[in-house]
Amino acid sequence: MYNNKHYLCTILFYILFSQLFSQTINDLQDLQKMKLEYERIQREQNQKLNQSDIGSEIDITTGLPKEVQIQPYKLQEEYKDSIDLSSKYFGYNFFVRRDSVAFWENLPTPANYLLGPGDELIISIWGETQLRKNYIISRDGKIYDEKVGLLNLMGKTIEEVKKYLINQFGRVYATLRGNNPTAFMDISLGQLRSINVNFVGEVKYPGVYPIHPFSTVITGLIQAGGIDTTGSLRNISIKRNGKTFSTIDIYNYLLKGDIPRNIQLRDQDIVIVPVRINTVIIDSAVVRPGIYESIANETIKQMIDYAGGVKITASSSISLKRIIPLNERNPDESTTQNYYIDYSNSQLTPVQNGDNIIVRSIFKTINQVEIIGQVKTPGIYHFSPGMRLKDLIDLGGGFYDTTFWKSIYKNQGEIVRRNPNTRYETVIKIDLNDVINGGPSSKIMLQNLDRFVVHANLNFFERKNVQIVGEINIPGSYPLTSDNETLSSLLNRAGGFTSKALYNGISIFRDKTFLGTKSIEDEELDDTKNIEKKIRVAWQNESITLMPGDSIVVKESSGTVNISGEVYNPGLIEFRKGKSLRHYINAAGGITINGDYNSVIVIYANGVVSPKKWYVSPKIEDGATIVVNMKEIEAPFNPTQFASNWTSIITSMITAIILSRQLSSGTGT
């Protein structure tokens, strides 16, 4: 019987609980699903976290902890011994196409330029004979003049053509000939033909290009799109009439400005750019790190010079990583060898294909000491061996200024020194009087990274005055005479109240410094013009301690009380001594329907706030402010919802009663 009753009570409690809080079975199922989903996400996150921890600390293959890598705490500045060299092939960007800049158009005619088909020749004769004609050289290299006849100019330079034409035209124009000719001839070029040059090998766009006839190998390669990074810059050859005419090393031009002679391109020349055979990487403390090309018998020193030489921060130690040539490799040994050579001997070491030359940087140590605090020039200064404490003080401006010496706390300064035997710094106390008198303290030897701290004598510095204005007999700015000077003391020094003063109507405003919240824009708060930026201090007794920078305003007795908030007629009401709070509320028309009589506060003229309590109302004084607050917003009554809830509750109770009787009758039988 007891078990049946217990079971019945449990069912009844569950039904009543679910109906009272309008919680359906579907809602419970949703909550259960959300709980299960949350637990699943938590398990996945924990699993990932564990895997991450295991992966970072445990070797998967052996199941053992990984080797710990200890990183040194560096005293030097951060620097890198290696840079990204993927786009640092030296010299190739020089040949970028410059279609918008036709720099060859204004070039003077080269002395060795050979005239050919398509060139325009301008012949001018002046003096006793006047003549000016233009001629286009035909495909067979000839021009025709009606008086002189057919003239062959193929393969001749400008100087050769001029001599040839003077002789030929002299047969018709006698004034051009003789020891004292009276007519003279000038030869100039007009429109020029293009020449066809073949660019093959490791150029970006190999093929035949019509280029300017004045072009050299360098300008021709620019017009042809440049050289690919797989091509050689140091073994470019010109093939003319089936034979190698010249071999060009572009490094001489790029690094020294030397232009090889007789590299004027001719029609049908073939410019061959072979594959770069030797590649050398030069990295780190050089002026121009990059990938360079070497030729036979060049040394490491020459390659470093190609890279602009070493920087001032370079070490004398050069790291050389060398690939063993294929025909010299031993299958059982490494394919690379590492060497360290001295920079002074680098001209004795020949360079090989694939060499990786790293000029190391010197270790950048910090050698400095610091002086801080009450000194003229605080800061960090270079440390040198044998440096004494007096030397550092002199660098910081010294203590020779008698007025400045008064601003220093003389009894104690500190040398803060790093201690390798502990995590904490060692503090060495120094008597500054002994330092200024040349005693043993001035000769203390400093160590690298020492810091010397000089404290200020706070008694020497002027403190902010207190400003007092309003209904006081002697308003103005007053210095505090002690650390604990009170409001009462300052009022007496200021001559006391005027006859119009409101005794409790004194407002004290204080700098935010004393709250630890002062910002930069709050620095200028020394007068009453900025009291709105200060913090108001509520006081009840004239024994309150004043602080430097306080602003005090003594208000005039107005004989009124200000009432605001949820009253029908907010504003000023005549103060009548002894009248209660309800009197002033009624005088303002009473509380509105939104006002709350139990939520009223009174703010007195001295900043003190007193709330109304259910058993007592605050006393009203002259200059006080009464604030009537709004009622708390409550949800509106919903009769339909109320009826529905109670209907459900009653139905549940009836069901529980019927079920209880059925169980009781069943038990009785």
Whether 448 and 411 have beta carbons less than 8 Å apart is answered as no
Together in a domain, 376 and 439: yes
Residue of higher predicted confidence among 635 and 594: 594
Mean pLDDT (whole number) for 316-328: 90
Where a domain ends, among 420, 444, 460?
460
Q: 305 and 337 share a domain? A: yes
Same domain, 330 and 382: no
- Answer whether 293's CB lies under 8 Å from 317's CB: no
Number of H helices and E strands in the chain, helices first, is 12, 30
| Least confident span in 62-71, 133-142, 553-562 | 62-71
Domain that holds residue 488: 466-547
Q: Which of residues 630, 646, 661 is at a domain's end?
A: 630
Indicate whether 455 and 474 sit together in one domain: no
Q: Are residues 585 and 564 in the same domain?
A: yes
Instruction: Note whether residue 102 is domain-resident.
Output: no
Contact, 620 vs 562, CB < 8 A?
Answer: no
Tokens of 401: 């200024």
Q: What is the mean pLDDT of residues 49-60?
A: 48
8 A C-beta contact, residue 602 and residue 584: no
Nearest CA to 111 out of 68, 157, 164 is that of 157
Confidence of residue 530 (pLDDT cuts 50, 70, 90): low
The per-residue pLDDT for 299 is: 95
- Report CA 186 to chain centroid distance, whole Å: 66
Residues whose CB falls within 8 Å of the CB of residue 475, separated by 6 or more in sequence, listed in order: 468, 469, 494
Residue 59 has pLDDT above 60, yes or no: no
CA neighbor of 605 nearest in space, from 533, 511, 539, 512:
539
Q: Which amino acid is at 293?
A: E
Structure tokens at 32: 């259960």
pLDDT at residue 652 greater than cutoff 90? no
372: how many CB neighbours lie within 10 A of its CB? 14
Tell me the backbone φ, ψ of residue 623, rounded to 5 degrees. Answer: 85, 5
Of 49-63, 181-195, 528-542, which one has max mean pLDDT? 181-195
User: Of 441, 460, 479, at which residue does a domain stop?
Assistant: 460
Q: Quick one: pLDDT band at residue 395, thresholds 50, 70, 90?
A: very high
Looking at the domain assignment, is residue 111 inside a domain? no
Most confidently modeled range among 27-36, 79-88, 116-125, 441-450: 441-450
3-state secondary structure of 190: coil
Reported confidence tier of residue 536, pLDDT bands at 50, 70, 90? confident
Q: What share of the chain is helix, strand, coil (3-state, %, to 5)?
A: 25, 30, 45
Q: Does residue 328 surpass a pLDDT of 90?
A: no
> Considering the domain boundaries, does residue 77 fall inside one?
no
Q: Are 351 and 279 in contact (CB under 8 A)?
A: no
Residue 194 in any domain: the answer is no
Distance (Å, rounded) from C-alpha 75 to C-alpha 11? 75
CATH number at residue 442: 3.10.560.10
Burial class (CB in 10 A: 0-12, 13-18, 19+), 598: exposed
State yes or no: pLDDT of 614 exceeds 60: yes
Note whether 167 and 146 are within 8 A (CB).
no
CATH of the domain at 164: 3.30.1950.10
Claim to verify: residue 418 and residue 394 sit in the same structural domain: yes
Q: What pLDDT band is residue 537 in, cutting at 50, 70 and 90?
A: confident
Question: How do residues 431-487 score in pLDDT, each as one tens digit?
Answer: 999 998 989 998 999 999 999 999 999 888 877 889 999 899 999 999 988 888 999
**Per-residue pLDDT for 110 more than 80?**
no
Is the pLDDT confidence value at 21 over 60? no
Give the Cα separation of 187 and 215 in Å (integer): 21
* Contact call for residues 214 and 232 (beta carbons, < 8 A): no
> Does 51 score more than 70 pLDDT?
no
* Number of domains making up the chain: 5
For residue 65, the model assigns a pLDDT of: 53
DSSP 82-110: ----TT-BTTGGGG---TT--TTTTPPPP
Return d(Cα 474, Cα 496) in angstroms, integer.
Answer: 8
566: which 2 tokens?
A: 């949820």
Length of the chain: 669
Alpha-carbon gap, residue 512 to 535, rounded angstroms: 6
- Name the band, by pLDDT with cuts 50, 70 and 90, for residue 23: very low
Q: Are residues 426 and 385 in the same domain?
A: yes
pLDDT of residue 669: 47
**Domain-embedded: residue 375:** yes
Mean pLDDT of all residues belonging to the chain:
82
Q: Is residue 300 part of a domain?
A: yes
Domain-embedded: residue 419: yes
Does residue 177 have a pLDDT over 70?
yes
Please name every residue paired with 336 in a beta bridge, in sequence order, or none if there are none.
Answer: 323
Three-state DSSP state, 160:
helix
The predicted structure's pLDDT at residue 319: 93
Residue 50 scores a pLDDT above 60: no
Specify if 126 maps to a domain: yes
Res 82: pLDDT: 53
pLDDT in tens, 488-524: 999 999 999 998 888 888 889 988 776 655 443 444 4
Does 498 lie in the same domain as 450?
no
Q: Please name the residues in contact with 203: beta carbons below 8 A apart, sequence gap of 6 or more.
A: 221, 224, 225, 226, 227, 228, 231, 271, 273
Give the three-class secondary structure for 267: coil
Crossing angle of helices 639-668 and 2-20, in 10° steps, is 170
User: 512 and 443 in one domain?
Assistant: no
On whether the CB atoms of residues 19 and 656 are closer than 8 A, the answer is no
- Going by C-alpha positions, the residue among 621, 602, 622, 600 that lies closest to residue 610 is 602
What pTM does this model have?
0.54
Residue 90 is predicted with a pLDDT of 93
Q: Which of 179-193, 344-358, 646-660 has the highest mean pLDDT?
A: 344-358
Place 38 in a pLDDT band, splitting at 50, 70 and 90.
Answer: low
Q: By percentage, how much of the chain surpasses pLDDT 90?
A: 37
Sheet holding 476-478, edge to edge: 476-478, 466-470, 551-556, 501-510, 535-537
Categorize the per-residue pLDDT at 281 as very low, low, confident or very high, splitting at 50, 70 and 90. very high
Residue 24 has pLDDT above 50, yes or no: no
Q: How far is CA 439 from CA 61, 83, 154, 307, 411, in A?
A: 68, 54, 99, 56, 14
**Backbone phi, psi, residue 11, to 5°:** -65, -45
Determine the average pLDDT of the residues in 238-252: 91
